[in-house]
Amino acid sequence: MGIKIGEDIQYVHPTFLYESLADFIIFFILIKLSQNRKYSGQITVWYFTLYSFIRFFIEGLRSDSLVIGNIRISQIVSGVIFIFAIVFMIKLKKQQK
């Protein structure tokens, strides 16, 4: 499965489509969360958490990623943002109490 690219018939995943669908899902989740917002910054932190989580897996499917050794740089960045977002979410919850 995939999209035909080039003369030598290389099939790749339509990561732009996956990301677009994930962005719509994240949008609707954030709309739902905003109706019951408990503290300032909650929706922003949820966005960073959800987007970096999805982006980590989508980057694993890309064929044109920047790679150093066997590690994709974009996956490292997504993982770091995800961890920081979780830590920040915990910090905001503690401040809210």
- pLDDT tens digits for 14-35? 888 999 999 999 999 999 999 9
Percent of the chain clearing pLDDT 70 (strictly above):
89
Helix (H) or strand (E) holding 68: strand 67-68
Residue (of 48, 56, 59, 51) closest to 16 by Cα position = 59
What is this structure's pTM? 0.82
Residue 97 burial (C-beta neighbours within 10 Å; 0-12, 13-18, 19+)? exposed
Alpha-carbon distance 91 to 15, whole Å?
33
Show the tokens assigned to 43: 């929706």
